[in-house]
Structure 1
Amino acid sequence: MKNKSLIFTIIAVIVIGALIFVLNNYTKSVQPAPSQVAENNSPSNNEDQNTSSNVNSNTTEQSEPKIGNQVGDIAPDFTLKDLDGNTVTLSSLRGKKVILNFWATTCPYCIIEMPALNQFIKSHKDDTVLLAIDLGESPSKVKQYLEGKGYEFTVLLDTDLSTIYDYQVQFIPMSYFIDKNGIIRAISNGAMTYDEIEEYYKSISR
């Protein structure tokens, strides 16, 4: 019995020793080397990461924007007629701030919003153009609606709905705020109050 107990003890010691050896080697293999820890936490490495981030952001800012209907895109160009038959081309207004407002006479929220738009443009008309783009209605219907209201912004007719398609307008009113370089800086979905127009306008006044 004593011999058996001694044999079991020896075997247990050998097994425990082997386990300790394996665990020690595994722990060393998963720990980072001291040199790697110093490199990852060194100020110079953090500087390199920050510089890389700054370069990437600068590259993005300096890259040429694409033509599109999202914030940061160049606003799609168009040429539309006003109620007097004169043509207005968006790209010809470069150097001015532009607000595009898509609307229709049958839209109740457009009707609610228009007085605020008119009040706003009256106080910003020196360097800002407001183009109210009617969606596919006849000139006579639009003229009849506007008669006597004294609105001072330019109303354009999107007769074939090509402009609404380019801007992917899905509901109205919808407004785009475009800076002096023709870049869309803000988009409003829904009717705006005067104060809300002023807030959106800040995006093209920087």
Structure 2
Amino acid sequence: MRFNIGKSGLLLLISAALLLSGCKEEKAKIGTAAPTLAAYDLSGNKASLEQWKGKYIYLNFWASNCGGCLAEMPTLEKLSQEYRDNIVVVGINTDKEDANIQALLTDMKVSFPNVRDQLAITQERYQVIGTPTSFLIDPQGTLQGQYVGMMHEPQLKAIFQKAKG
């Protein structure tokens, strides 16, 4: 069987192959390098894990309509202050762009960094199915743990204490 795709078809096929070969599929796996963020801070600047390299990072995926997420926030704020020399809490908001999360964060007195993942690319890389879901990344950028569901203060404190060393 012989196909005649022509010059334009061949060019299209080669272009697609080159484009796909440049895409690196990133998936979260404990013990491997943490996937890169595809998210922006609340000022519209691209966020990167490199910003916090040298510290443990507690990535917390959350949504404004998630009761468990909102219930965790005061404890995460408290621990982010208590352990700020060793660990940075980073909120990854999964709401659509029209949600006013800045007002919510202000009302809840949340000072730890928060970024937006409106396109859900970061969620896909970290294989987040629901919120809250969190990940612990060590100072070298390696995933150390995944935590699905709402965490209570004793559980969170144990994670932060273990990371502190």
C-alpha RMSD of the superposition: 1.8
Which 10-residue stretch deviates more, 158-167 or 195-204? Answer: 195-204
What do the CA deviations read for 1:124-172 (whole angstroms, capped 9, x no partner)?
1123211100114226521232232211111100011100000000111
* Percent identical: 27
User: Tell me, what secondary structure is at the counterpart of 2:130?
Assistant: coil
2:142 is equivalent to residue 183 of structure 1: yes
Structure-1 residue corresponding to 2:118: 159
What do the CA deviations read for 1:3-47 (whole angstroms, capped 9, x no partner)?
xxxxxxxxxxxxxxxxxxxxxxxxxxxxxxxxxxxxxxxxxxxxx
**Distance verdict in 2 for CA 1:106–1:96, change over 3 Å:** same
Structure-2 residue corresponding to 1:105: 64
1 CA distance for matches of 2:76 and 2:63? 14
Larger relative contact order (CA 8 Å, sep ≥ 6): 2
2:114 is equivalent to residue 114 of structure 1: no
User: Tell me, what secondary structure is at the counterpart of 1:171?
Assistant: coil
2:50 is equivalent to residue 82 of structure 1: no
* Rg larger for: 1
Q: Give the alignment of 1:58-77 within 5 angstroms.
A: 68-77=27-36
Contact 1:98 1:179 in 2 (8 A): yes
Contact 1:177 1:184 in 2 (8 A): yes
Which 10-residue stretch deviates more, 86-95 or 117-126? Answer: 86-95
Whichever structure has more helix as a proportion of its residues is: 1
Contact 1:103 1:133 in 2 (8 A): yes
2 CA distance for matches of 1:102 and 1:116? 15
What do the CA deviations read for 1:102-140 (whole angstroms, capped 9, x no partner)?
000011111111111111101111232111001142265
**Distance verdict in 2 for CA 1:114–1:151, change over 3 Å:** same
User: Tell me, what secondary structure is at the counterpart of 2:34?
Assistant: coil
For 1:192, the aligned partner's letter is: M
Contact 1:186 1:203 in 2 (8 A): no
Contact 1:133 1:156 in 2 (8 A): yes
